[in-house]
Amino acid sequence: MRATYRHWKQPGTDASCYSDQDCAPVTAEWRAGKWFALRQAESFAVPDYQGRGERLPLKQSEWIAIPEDKILRVPNPTIEGAHLCYKGGEVICFVPPNSGG
């Protein structure tokens, strides 16, 4: 998927949607005329003195509303599911699931 994400541009700009950890497949739902994406909990490596450490969750997964101006109008590279690019508490880009339309 990384190769696909690298080509996506933020709507209305020439800036990329992608960095190595910002984009991922997500579950999405259409509710009352708006897309919502289930953003998975982030994790971080707890440092230790014997290696890389274990990964611990920062917070629970959450449903986030997708602003209309962040939706990319590009073909979805997967049959089911959506794709979300999210960084610093902000939606960068979103590709909705194929809806058959």
Query: Taking the domains of the chain in order of start, what are their residue ranges?
Result: 2-95
The 10s digit of each residue's pLDDT in 61-95 is 789 999 999 999 888 888 778 999 998 889 999 99
Query: How big is the CA angle at 100 (ends 98 and 101), to the nearest 5 degrees?
Result: 105
Cα separation, 23 vs 26, whole angstroms:
9
What is the distance, to the nearest Å, from the Cα of residue 41 to the centroid of all Cα atoms in its chain? 12
Phi and psi at 30, nearest 5°, equal -95, 115
Q: Model's pTM, two decimal places?
A: 0.76
Tokens of 46: 């707890």
Residue of 67 and 43 predicted with greater confidence: 67
Q: How confident is the model at residue 54 (pLDDT cuts 50, 70, 90)?
A: low
Mean pLDDT over 49-61 rounds to 55
Q: Are 94 and 34 in contact (CB under 8 A)?
A: no
